[in-house]
Structure 1
Amino acid sequence: MRASAGSAPQPHIPVLLDEVIESLALPETGLAVDGTFGAGGYTRALLAAQPDIQVVAIDRDPTAIAAGAALVAESAGRLRIIEGCFGSLDVLLAAIGEAGADRIVLDIGVSSMQLDRPERGFSFRNDGPLDMRMAATGPSAADLVNEAEESHLADIVYHYGEERRSRAVARTIIEARRRGRIETTAQLADLVAGVVRSEPGIHPATRTFQALRIAVNDELGELVRALHAAERILRPGGRLAVVTFHSLEDRIVKQFFAGRSGRSAQGSRHLPGGLPGAAPARSFAPVTKGPVLPGEDEQRRNPRARSAKLRVAERTEAPAPAPLAAVEALASLPDARGGGRR
């Protein structure tokens, strides 16, 4: 979920919750997977919707895993929480003896708890270390900002943040780090604000912070892997529901479901001509016609829902084909495909 600049911290509220549960059409028994556990909102709803269904929840954030211990205790053996990346959900399920799943829900992006904790370094609302890691390992945003080449930084900011002033942002970062390391969210936000024009209701650093967070956590690559993993692990008739929060995520989900259901998808500025080389096997059938959007009441209650989109598809009996190369390409930087912004 996304936070707007200057807003007060808010509790984590699952977006499109009723629509997700309704579209999943949960069976009375079976296995449901919450691939992005977070604060457990979808997991609680899954447990409550059917008293005999089993739930496995996955999260890469050890803080979320620890916070979910109470819910595990309350579930009377119906809930297991696994630490790991949801892009490997089929492998993670196999490791605990589960050969298939009946329902999977994915809520893509950063959680409110991560945004609202300054020490995690996801937001410029409060100053904190420039971290942005969802897990506790790997290079941080500070490492990326202080060590990446200027052209690589610019490509990240342009592609993952869709920031038109990406070259100016990268150049400013390079100039600033010659004077010393950029270590805090406030330092970076001030630098970006010096070269990006303010827009009503949007902090100048919003798109840059989004871009760095996506790059640090390989969020788009993780989403692509999760879609293919769900395809492999879902039983025939199983359903996959995905909630996204910005155009990059939604484009990937839209193209994946279109390619796997045999429908043509519109091209994009990233992939002219749509889905070249898409596999013909119809491994999914659409459940929702286009994206499901939050209603006005939900948007008033939860401003973070405004950009959310839900897409749902049902697994057919067709075997899982090879991964869609065109969808995988959507998670890559443009210059890696031979055409970055210069």
Structure 2
Amino acid sequence: MPQPQRTALVTGSAGFIGFHLSSTLLNAGWRVIGVDAMTDYYDIALKEKRQAMLCQSRSFRAINDRIEQPGLLETLFSDHRPDAVIHLAAQAGVRYSIEAPESYVQANLIGTFRLLEAARAHPPAHLLLASTSSVYGANPDMPYAETDKADSQMSFYAATKKANEAMAHSYAHLYGLPTTMFRFFTVYGPWGRPDMALFKFTRAILSDEPIDVYNHGKMQRDFTYVDDLVAGIEKLIDVAPVRPTDGAAPPEGDSLSPVAPYRIVNIGNSDPVPLMEFIAAIEAATGRAARKNLMAMQPGDVPATWADTTLLRRLTGHIPSTSVADGVARFVEWYRDYYDL
């Protein structure tokens, strides 16, 4: 007999990662309830195009509203009883959190609280929430492992995400909600956000405009291609944490909580790339040289990130495989096509 169709509720479904994840789940046979506020943090037309593509599937339903709206999520949980909830909606951006911190309180703190309350009232089989590599903050020891201390966040954005982790752990402990937190590492690829480096650099290089290169280019990032990231999320959906038996210690290297069905998982490429090498990949893909405006480090930023993905591999067998050269080339191809260049 055919298996009944499973339902996923994806917040931030018209966003960069949410769009790719929703597309992947729809192609895998899921019914997807997508919630997105369609805010104007960046070009709404890009979000509208992503959502329109998702709406071509009869298994997708779009809800355009803010997750912090009282009662919205509880009604959606009650009406649709999702098997999996993937919470990606957030106010993103390190530097913007310095300019407009209150938007992070509303979306990241209050919005996540509303989601946790809805999950408490109508528990899904697995609750999965996005965090960020930024929570590792000033920790100089790399690669970052999920069991490393992460108490020195350097931006308000990172602080709200660390707060989300603590909030979700408390609900997992109090109400037995199987919960996985993802720590994402510098995601890039087609349909990406215009405020991110790859988008800004590509646009500037193709327009023969200078690019701002912070810390004089002495930076490294664990650039993670969006398809690799989404594959990791999809595989983790069916690996819900189980509360350890009383007194049992989690396996070595596992971030599983000793008191809750709760786990943190890094999703990265585990291969830090120097910023200048990343720029060189854009130059190769565009066929043009970048005019570099070398600048000091920006407030709230960190010089390097590097994910230890041992736990992801152990849980799912997933190993990200897209090289920066290939991933950047695919983005530039999409960018030229989207903007008819």
Q: Same fold judged by TM-score > 0.5?
A: no
Q: TM-score, normalised by structure 2?
A: 0.40
Q: TM-score, normalised by structure 1?
A: 0.40
